[in-house]
Amino acid sequence: MKFKQLLEGFNAAQSVMHERFSFGGQPVRSMARRIQSPQYVQSLAEAATFVADVFDGRQPLWMLKEAMSTSDFPLLFGDTIDRLMVAKWKAIEPTWRDYAKISTCRDFRPVKRFRCTRGAALLHGPMSPGESYKGDAVDESYYEYSVGKYGRRRDILWEALVNDDLGALRDAPDDLAWQAVNTEAYEFTRLWAANTTLYAINHAVAGVNYSNLGNAAFDADALAAAIGEMGEYPAEDGESPIMNDPLYIVVGTRTMQMRVEQVLNSLIVAYTGSSDRDNLPVANLIPAQLRNTMQVRLNPWIRLFDTDYQTAWYIFSDPAAGYAVEFSFLQGHELPELFMKNSNQVQMGGGAVSPMEGDFDTDAVGYKLRHCCGGSHTNAVGGWRFTWRSTGTV
Protein backbone atom coordinates (compact mmCIF):
# COMPACT_ATOMS: atom_id res chain seq x y z
CA MET A 1 0.00 0.00 0.00
CA LYS A 2 1.48 3.35 -1.01
CA PHE A 3 1.20 6.40 1.18
CA LYS A 4 -0.76 8.32 -1.44
CA GLN A 5 -3.27 5.46 -1.73
CA LEU A 6 -3.62 5.45 2.02
CA LEU A 7 -4.44 9.13 2.14
CA GLU A 8 -7.12 8.96 -0.54
CA GLY A 9 -9.58 7.23 1.76
CA PHE A 10 -8.37 8.64 5.03
CA ASN A 11 -9.84 11.59 6.90
CA ALA A 12 -6.89 12.89 8.85
CA ALA A 13 -8.79 15.52 10.79
CA GLN A 14 -11.43 13.16 12.23
CA SER A 15 -9.26 10.15 13.02
CA VAL A 16 -6.21 11.77 14.56
CA MET A 17 -7.62 11.60 18.08
CA HIS A 18 -7.61 7.82 17.84
CA GLU A 19 -4.54 7.25 15.69
CA ARG A 20 -1.76 9.14 17.41
CA PHE A 21 1.94 9.45 16.88
CA SER A 22 4.35 10.75 19.49
CA PHE A 23 7.53 12.52 18.48
CA GLY A 24 10.25 13.54 20.91
CA GLY A 25 8.02 12.43 23.81
CA GLN A 26 5.19 14.82 22.91
CA PRO A 27 1.94 13.12 21.78
CA VAL A 28 0.35 14.56 18.70
CA ARG A 29 -2.99 14.50 20.51
CA SER A 30 -1.84 17.48 22.58
CA MET A 31 -1.47 19.34 19.27
CA ALA A 32 -5.02 18.50 18.13
CA ARG A 33 -5.94 22.03 17.13
CA ARG A 34 -2.98 22.32 14.85
CA ILE A 35 -3.50 18.87 13.36
CA GLN A 36 -7.16 19.49 12.64
CA SER A 37 -6.34 22.58 10.62
CA PRO A 38 -6.59 22.44 6.81
CA GLN A 39 -2.97 23.57 6.63
CA TYR A 40 -1.78 20.50 8.53
CA VAL A 41 -3.89 18.14 6.43
CA GLN A 42 -2.44 19.65 3.26
CA SER A 43 1.10 19.43 4.64
CA LEU A 44 0.53 15.81 5.62
CA ALA A 45 -0.64 14.95 2.11
CA GLU A 46 2.39 16.63 0.59
CA ALA A 47 4.72 14.84 3.01
CA ALA A 48 3.13 11.47 2.26
CA THR A 49 3.53 12.08 -1.48
CA PHE A 50 7.18 12.95 -0.98
CA VAL A 51 7.85 9.90 1.20
CA ALA A 52 6.09 7.67 -1.34
CA ASP A 53 8.36 9.06 -4.07
CA VAL A 54 11.43 8.30 -1.96
CA PHE A 55 10.22 4.77 -1.23
CA ASP A 56 9.49 4.19 -4.93
CA GLY A 57 12.90 5.46 -5.96
CA ARG A 58 11.71 8.62 -7.72
CA GLN A 59 13.49 10.77 -5.14
CA PRO A 60 16.91 10.05 -3.55
CA LEU A 61 17.17 9.13 0.11
CA TRP A 62 19.44 12.09 0.87
CA MET A 63 16.47 14.41 0.25
CA LEU A 64 14.52 12.60 2.97
CA LYS A 65 17.44 13.00 5.38
CA GLU A 66 17.68 16.69 4.53
CA ALA A 67 13.93 17.19 5.05
CA MET A 68 14.17 15.49 8.45
CA SER A 69 16.44 18.29 9.65
CA THR A 70 13.63 20.83 9.30
CA SER A 71 11.32 21.71 12.15
CA ASP A 72 8.01 20.34 10.81
CA PHE A 73 8.84 17.40 8.56
CA PRO A 74 9.87 14.90 11.29
CA LEU A 75 6.37 15.16 12.78
CA LEU A 76 4.78 14.79 9.34
CA PHE A 77 7.00 11.82 8.52
CA GLY A 78 6.19 10.14 11.82
CA ASP A 79 2.48 10.78 11.37
CA THR A 80 2.65 9.22 7.90
CA ILE A 81 4.44 6.08 9.15
CA ASP A 82 2.01 5.78 12.06
CA ARG A 83 -1.03 6.05 9.81
CA LEU A 84 0.36 3.39 7.50
CA MET A 85 1.00 1.09 10.46
CA VAL A 86 -2.55 1.56 11.76
CA ALA A 87 -3.96 0.98 8.28
CA LYS A 88 -2.02 -2.28 8.04
CA TRP A 89 -3.28 -3.26 11.50
CA LYS A 90 -6.88 -2.58 10.46
CA ALA A 91 -6.44 -4.46 7.18
CA ILE A 92 -5.71 -7.68 9.10
CA GLU A 93 -9.17 -8.77 10.20
CA PRO A 94 -8.89 -10.95 13.31
CA THR A 95 -11.80 -13.39 13.35
CA TRP A 96 -11.53 -13.96 17.11
CA ARG A 97 -13.32 -10.65 17.70
CA ASP A 98 -16.50 -12.28 16.34
CA TYR A 99 -16.93 -14.51 19.39
CA ALA A 100 -15.53 -12.19 22.08
CA LYS A 101 -16.98 -9.37 24.11
CA ILE A 102 -14.86 -6.30 23.24
CA SER A 103 -14.66 -3.52 25.83
CA THR A 104 -12.34 -0.86 27.28
CA CYS A 105 -10.75 -0.20 30.69
CA ARG A 106 -10.03 3.21 32.16
CA ASP A 107 -6.57 2.33 33.50
CA PHE A 108 -4.27 -0.53 34.48
CA ARG A 109 -5.88 -1.24 37.83
CA PRO A 110 -7.87 -4.50 38.18
CA VAL A 111 -11.45 -4.07 37.00
CA LYS A 112 -14.38 -6.08 38.33
CA ARG A 113 -17.25 -6.98 36.02
CA PHE A 114 -20.37 -7.62 38.07
CA ARG A 115 -23.39 -9.58 37.00
CA CYS A 116 -26.66 -9.72 38.87
CA THR A 117 -28.96 -12.67 38.38
CA ARG A 118 -32.34 -11.87 36.96
CA GLY A 119 -34.18 -13.54 39.81
CA ALA A 120 -37.31 -15.49 39.05
CA ALA A 121 -37.99 -16.03 35.37
CA LEU A 122 -41.71 -15.27 35.66
CA LEU A 123 -43.88 -12.81 37.50
CA HIS A 124 -45.87 -14.13 40.43
CA GLY A 125 -49.53 -14.58 39.70
CA PRO A 126 -52.31 -14.52 39.00
CA MET A 127 -52.69 -12.67 42.27
CA SER A 128 -55.74 -12.63 44.47
CA PRO A 129 -57.34 -9.32 45.44
CA GLY A 130 -55.32 -7.78 48.25
CA GLU A 131 -52.48 -10.29 47.95
CA SER A 132 -49.01 -8.91 48.66
CA TYR A 133 -46.36 -8.92 46.00
CA LYS A 134 -43.62 -11.50 46.50
CA GLY A 135 -40.03 -10.37 46.77
CA ASP A 136 -37.44 -11.29 44.18
CA ALA A 137 -34.06 -12.70 45.29
CA VAL A 138 -31.14 -11.43 43.24
CA ASP A 139 -27.58 -12.75 43.57
CA GLU A 140 -24.40 -10.97 42.53
CA SER A 141 -21.21 -12.41 41.06
CA TYR A 142 -18.18 -10.96 39.32
CA TYR A 143 -14.93 -11.70 37.51
CA GLU A 144 -11.79 -9.61 37.61
CA TYR A 145 -8.96 -8.77 35.22
CA SER A 146 -6.66 -5.95 34.16
CA VAL A 147 -5.08 -4.77 30.92
CA GLY A 148 -1.34 -4.96 30.39
CA LYS A 149 1.15 -2.99 28.37
CA TYR A 150 2.91 -4.69 25.46
CA GLY A 151 5.49 -3.25 23.15
CA ARG A 152 8.44 -3.72 20.87
CA ARG A 153 11.33 -1.54 19.78
CA ARG A 154 12.65 -1.45 16.23
CA ASP A 155 16.08 0.09 15.61
CA ILE A 156 17.12 0.92 12.05
CA LEU A 157 20.88 1.17 11.68
CA TRP A 158 22.29 4.44 10.42
CA GLU A 159 24.53 2.49 8.05
CA ALA A 160 21.45 1.02 6.35
CA LEU A 161 20.11 4.52 5.74
CA VAL A 162 23.47 5.71 4.42
CA ASN A 163 23.48 2.76 2.03
CA ASP A 164 20.04 3.83 0.78
CA ASP A 165 18.56 0.56 2.07
CA LEU A 166 14.90 1.52 2.32
CA GLY A 167 13.79 -2.01 3.12
CA ALA A 168 14.03 -1.29 6.84
CA LEU A 169 11.76 1.74 6.57
CA ARG A 170 9.30 0.01 4.25
CA ASP A 171 8.99 -3.07 6.46
CA ALA A 172 8.60 -1.24 9.77
CA PRO A 173 4.82 -0.50 9.51
CA ASP A 174 4.05 -4.04 8.29
CA ASP A 175 6.16 -5.73 10.95
CA LEU A 176 4.85 -3.64 13.84
CA ALA A 177 1.22 -4.05 12.78
CA TRP A 178 1.76 -7.80 12.43
CA GLN A 179 3.21 -7.98 15.95
CA ALA A 180 0.26 -6.04 17.40
CA VAL A 181 -2.29 -8.34 15.73
CA ASN A 182 -0.43 -11.44 16.92
CA THR A 183 -0.25 -10.16 20.48
CA GLU A 184 -3.99 -9.59 20.60
CA ALA A 185 -4.75 -13.06 19.23
CA TYR A 186 -2.28 -14.76 21.57
CA GLU A 187 -3.49 -12.99 24.72
CA PHE A 188 -7.13 -13.60 23.82
CA THR A 189 -6.72 -17.30 22.98
CA ARG A 190 -4.81 -18.14 26.13
CA LEU A 191 -7.78 -16.97 28.21
CA TRP A 192 -10.01 -19.85 27.11
CA ALA A 193 -8.29 -22.50 24.96
CA ALA A 194 -8.32 -25.82 26.88
CA ASN A 195 -9.07 -23.88 30.07
CA THR A 196 -10.00 -26.40 32.76
CA THR A 197 -12.09 -23.87 34.69
CA LEU A 198 -14.20 -22.70 31.79
CA TYR A 199 -14.63 -26.18 30.27
CA ALA A 200 -15.63 -28.80 32.81
CA ILE A 201 -18.15 -31.58 33.46
CA ASN A 202 -19.30 -30.27 36.83
CA HIS A 203 -20.79 -26.80 36.41
CA ALA A 204 -23.35 -26.81 39.22
CA VAL A 205 -26.71 -25.09 38.89
CA ALA A 206 -29.34 -25.56 41.60
CA GLY A 207 -27.70 -28.78 42.73
CA VAL A 208 -27.39 -30.29 39.27
CA ASN A 209 -24.11 -30.66 37.35
CA TYR A 210 -23.90 -29.67 33.70
CA SER A 211 -21.04 -30.26 31.28
CA ASN A 212 -19.64 -28.20 28.44
CA LEU A 213 -16.75 -30.58 27.80
CA GLY A 214 -16.73 -33.63 25.53
CA ASN A 215 -14.31 -35.83 23.61
CA ALA A 216 -16.20 -36.81 20.46
CA ALA A 217 -14.51 -36.39 17.08
CA PHE A 218 -16.25 -33.82 14.95
CA ASP A 219 -19.09 -35.03 12.75
CA ALA A 220 -22.79 -34.25 12.32
CA ASP A 221 -23.80 -36.49 15.24
CA ALA A 222 -21.25 -34.95 17.62
CA LEU A 223 -22.22 -31.43 16.64
CA ALA A 224 -25.92 -32.20 17.08
CA ALA A 225 -25.24 -33.70 20.51
CA ALA A 226 -23.22 -30.66 21.61
CA ILE A 227 -25.87 -28.22 20.40
CA GLY A 228 -28.55 -30.26 22.14
CA GLU A 229 -26.63 -30.29 25.40
CA MET A 230 -26.06 -26.52 25.25
CA GLY A 231 -29.80 -26.11 24.77
CA GLU A 232 -30.37 -27.83 28.12
CA TYR A 233 -28.36 -25.33 30.13
CA PRO A 234 -30.71 -23.50 32.53
CA ALA A 235 -30.58 -20.04 34.05
CA GLU A 236 -29.49 -19.56 37.65
CA ASP A 237 -32.81 -20.81 39.02
CA GLY A 238 -32.14 -24.21 37.48
CA GLU A 239 -35.38 -24.20 35.50
CA SER A 240 -35.69 -21.26 33.14
CA PRO A 241 -34.25 -21.62 29.63
CA ILE A 242 -31.63 -19.29 28.21
CA MET A 243 -30.93 -18.09 24.67
CA ASN A 244 -27.49 -19.44 23.82
CA ASP A 245 -27.90 -20.66 20.25
CA PRO A 246 -24.46 -21.58 18.85
CA LEU A 247 -23.12 -19.29 16.16
CA TYR A 248 -19.38 -19.98 15.79
CA ILE A 249 -17.40 -23.21 15.56
CA VAL A 250 -13.73 -22.50 16.29
CA VAL A 251 -10.94 -24.87 15.26
CA GLY A 252 -7.15 -24.74 15.25
CA THR A 253 -6.19 -26.27 11.89
CA ARG A 254 -7.16 -25.98 8.23
CA THR A 255 -7.99 -29.67 8.17
CA MET A 256 -10.56 -29.23 10.91
CA GLN A 257 -11.88 -26.10 9.22
CA MET A 258 -12.58 -28.02 6.01
CA ARG A 259 -14.21 -30.86 7.94
CA VAL A 260 -16.58 -28.49 9.72
CA GLU A 261 -17.39 -26.68 6.48
CA GLN A 262 -18.31 -30.00 4.86
CA VAL A 263 -20.79 -30.84 7.62
CA LEU A 264 -22.37 -27.38 7.69
CA ASN A 265 -22.73 -27.23 3.91
CA SER A 266 -24.06 -30.76 3.42
CA LEU A 267 -27.75 -31.52 3.04
CA ILE A 268 -27.09 -35.22 3.59
CA VAL A 269 -24.45 -37.14 5.55
CA ALA A 270 -23.06 -40.54 4.58
CA TYR A 271 -22.11 -42.75 7.52
CA THR A 272 -19.30 -45.26 7.07
CA GLY A 273 -18.40 -46.16 10.64
CA SER A 274 -21.79 -47.06 12.11
CA SER A 275 -23.07 -50.60 11.69
CA ASP A 276 -26.74 -49.66 11.43
CA ARG A 277 -26.20 -46.89 8.84
CA ASP A 278 -23.19 -48.07 6.84
CA ASN A 279 -22.89 -46.12 3.59
CA LEU A 280 -26.48 -44.97 3.82
CA PRO A 281 -26.92 -41.25 3.16
CA VAL A 282 -29.36 -39.61 5.53
CA ALA A 283 -30.51 -36.07 6.07
CA ASN A 284 -28.13 -33.84 8.01
CA LEU A 285 -29.11 -33.83 11.67
CA ILE A 286 -28.36 -30.12 12.02
CA PRO A 287 -31.46 -28.07 11.12
CA ALA A 288 -31.02 -25.88 8.06
CA GLN A 289 -31.79 -22.75 10.07
CA LEU A 290 -28.81 -23.44 12.35
CA ARG A 291 -26.51 -24.64 9.58
CA ASN A 292 -27.18 -21.51 7.56
CA THR A 293 -26.27 -19.23 10.46
CA MET A 294 -23.35 -21.09 12.01
CA GLN A 295 -19.89 -20.03 10.86
CA VAL A 296 -16.43 -21.58 11.09
CA ARG A 297 -13.54 -19.60 12.53
CA LEU A 298 -9.91 -20.68 12.29
CA ASN A 299 -7.72 -19.75 15.25
CA PRO A 300 -4.20 -21.13 14.72
CA TRP A 301 -3.09 -19.90 18.16
CA ILE A 302 -5.05 -22.74 19.76
CA ARG A 303 -2.10 -25.03 19.12
CA LEU A 304 -0.05 -23.17 21.74
CA PHE A 305 -2.51 -23.95 24.53
CA ASP A 306 -4.47 -27.07 23.55
CA THR A 307 -2.49 -30.31 23.19
CA ASP A 308 -5.43 -31.73 21.21
CA TYR A 309 -5.47 -28.79 18.79
CA GLN A 310 -5.43 -31.05 15.73
CA THR A 311 -8.79 -32.59 16.63
CA ALA A 312 -10.34 -30.18 19.14
CA TRP A 313 -13.33 -28.01 18.27
CA TYR A 314 -15.12 -25.28 20.17
CA ILE A 315 -18.59 -23.75 19.99
CA PHE A 316 -19.38 -20.15 20.93
CA SER A 317 -22.69 -18.33 21.09
CA ASP A 318 -23.28 -14.89 19.67
CA PRO A 319 -21.65 -12.46 22.17
CA ALA A 320 -24.76 -10.29 21.89
CA ALA A 321 -26.71 -13.08 23.62
CA GLY A 322 -23.98 -14.06 26.09
CA TYR A 323 -20.23 -14.31 26.05
CA ALA A 324 -17.64 -16.69 27.46
CA VAL A 325 -14.66 -14.36 27.05
CA GLU A 326 -14.18 -10.61 27.42
CA PHE A 327 -11.20 -8.82 25.90
CA SER A 328 -10.49 -5.21 26.71
CA PHE A 329 -8.30 -2.32 25.55
CA LEU A 330 -7.04 0.69 27.46
CA GLN A 331 -9.47 3.57 27.05
CA GLY A 332 -8.07 6.24 24.78
CA HIS A 333 -5.38 3.86 23.58
CA GLU A 334 -7.44 1.25 21.76
CA LEU A 335 -5.17 1.24 18.74
CA PRO A 336 -1.44 0.42 18.70
CA GLU A 337 0.68 3.55 19.07
CA LEU A 338 3.95 4.27 17.30
CA PHE A 339 6.74 6.44 18.72
CA MET A 340 10.04 7.65 17.26
CA LYS A 341 13.07 8.40 19.38
CA ASN A 342 14.54 11.87 19.16
CA SER A 343 18.24 12.02 18.47
CA ASN A 344 20.16 12.51 21.73
CA GLN A 345 23.36 13.76 20.17
CA VAL A 346 24.56 17.28 19.47
CA GLN A 347 26.81 18.10 16.53
CA MET A 348 29.85 20.20 17.33
CA GLY A 349 29.33 23.69 15.99
CA GLY A 350 25.61 23.67 16.88
CA GLY A 351 22.59 23.32 14.65
CA ALA A 352 19.62 20.98 14.73
CA VAL A 353 20.32 17.26 14.53
CA SER A 354 17.89 15.19 12.47
CA PRO A 355 16.25 12.18 14.19
CA MET A 356 17.52 10.22 11.18
CA GLU A 357 21.05 10.68 12.58
CA GLY A 358 20.11 8.21 15.29
CA ASP A 359 21.20 7.46 18.82
CA PHE A 360 24.43 8.82 20.33
CA ASP A 361 25.79 5.38 21.25
CA THR A 362 24.80 3.29 18.22
CA ASP A 363 23.62 5.73 15.53
CA ALA A 364 20.39 3.68 15.33
CA VAL A 365 17.06 5.31 14.50
CA GLY A 366 14.61 3.96 17.05
CA TYR A 367 10.89 3.19 16.72
CA LYS A 368 8.68 1.92 19.53
CA LEU A 369 5.24 0.34 19.36
CA ARG A 370 2.96 0.29 22.40
CA HIS A 371 -0.29 -1.62 22.76
CA CYS A 372 -2.43 -2.13 25.88
CA CYS A 373 -4.92 -5.00 26.21
CA GLY A 374 -6.10 -7.84 28.44
CA GLY A 375 -9.16 -9.84 29.42
CA SER A 376 -10.69 -12.84 31.15
CA HIS A 377 -13.06 -15.72 30.62
CA THR A 378 -16.42 -15.26 32.32
CA ASN A 379 -16.94 -18.60 34.03
CA ALA A 380 -17.44 -16.89 37.39
CA VAL A 381 -20.65 -15.27 36.14
CA GLY A 382 -21.95 -18.28 34.23
CA GLY A 383 -20.16 -17.64 30.94
CA TRP A 384 -19.61 -21.40 30.50
CA ARG A 385 -23.20 -21.62 29.25
CA PHE A 386 -22.18 -19.88 26.01
CA THR A 387 -19.39 -22.17 24.89
CA TRP A 388 -18.55 -25.84 24.40
CA ARG A 389 -15.33 -27.77 23.89
CA SER A 390 -14.60 -31.22 22.55
CA THR A 391 -11.11 -32.69 22.49
CA GLY A 392 -12.11 -34.68 19.40
CA THR A 393 -10.05 -37.64 20.55
CA VAL A 394 -12.78 -40.34 20.48
Please give the residue that has the higher pLDDT: either 356 or 157.
Answer: 157
Please state the φ and ψ torsions of residue 7, each to the nearest 5 degrees.
-70, -25
pLDDT at 9 over 80: no
pLDDT at 5 over 60: no
Name which of 84, 17, 69 is nearest 367 in CA terms. Answer: 84
Number of H helices, E strands in the chain: 11, 18
Confirm if 312 and 387 have CB atoms less than 8 A apart: no
pLDDT at 20 over 50: no
What is the per-residue pLDDT across 88-145, written as a single tens digit (0 to 9) for each?
Answer: 666 567 889 999 999 999 999 999 888 766 566 677 788 888 888 877 766 678 899 9
What is the per-residue pLDDT across 203-229, written as a single tens digit (0 to 9) for each?
Answer: 999 899 999 999 999 998 899 999 999
Query: 217: how many CB neighbours lie within 10 A of its CB?
Result: 16
**Pairing state of beta strands 148-156 and 365-377?**
antiparallel
Confirm if 211 and 386 have CB atoms less than 8 A apart: no
pLDDT confidence tier of residue 341, bands split at 50, 70 and 90: confident
The distance of Cα 153 from the centroid of its chain, to the nearest Å, equals 21
For residues 335-361, average pLDDT: 71
Q: Which of 315-324, 349-358, 365-374 has the lowest mean pLDDT?
A: 349-358
Amino acid at 88: K
pLDDT confidence tier of residue 16, bands split at 50, 70 and 90: very low
For residues 321-334, average pLDDT: 94
pLDDT at 279 over 70: no
Predicted local distance difference test score (pLDDT) of residue 237: 81
The torsion region of residue 183 among left (phi > 0), alpha (psi -120 to 50) and beta comes to: alpha
For residues 276-285, average pLDDT: 55
Distance (Å, rounded) from C-alpha 337 to C-alpha 175? 13
Distance (Å, rounded) from C-alpha 92 to C-alpha 81? 17
Q: What angle do helix axes 73-91 and 61-68 make, rounded to 10 degrees?
A: 120
The distance of Cα 292 from the centroid of its chain, to the nearest Å, equals 25
pLDDT confidence tier of residue 284, bands split at 50, 70 and 90: low
Mapping DSSP to helix (H, G, I), strand (E, B) and coil, where does residue 114 land? strand
Mapping DSSP to helix (H, G, I), strand (E, B) and coil, where does residue 261 land? helix
pLDDT at 17 over 70: no
What is the per-residue pLDDT across 50-90, written as a single tens digit (0 to 9) for each?
Answer: 666 666 667 665 565 555 544 454 555 555 556 665 666 66
pLDDT at 340 over 90: no
Predicted local distance difference test score (pLDDT) of residue 41: 60
pLDDT at 40 over 90: no
Q: Which of 122-126, 321-325, 329-333 has the lowest mean pLDDT?
A: 122-126
Confirm if 6 and 90 have CB atoms less than 8 A apart: no
Predicted local distance difference test score (pLDDT) of residue 10: 39
Q: Domain locations in the chain?
A: 1-91, 93-115+140-394
Distance (Å, rounded) from C-alpha 54 to C-alpha 81? 13
Q: Which helix (H) or strand (E) segment is 178 a member of? A: helix 167-189
What is the per-residue pLDDT across 233-263, written as a single tens digit (0 to 9) for each?
Answer: 998 888 888 989 899 999 999 999 999 998 8
The whole-chain average pLDDT of the chain stands at 77
Q: Which helix (H) or strand (E) segment is 374 a member of? A: strand 365-377
Architecture of domain 93-115+140-394: Alpha-Beta Complex (3.90)
Please state the φ and ψ torsions of residue 186, each to the nearest 5 degrees.
-65, -50
pLDDT at 337 over 90: no
Predicted local distance difference test score (pLDDT) of residue 268: 65
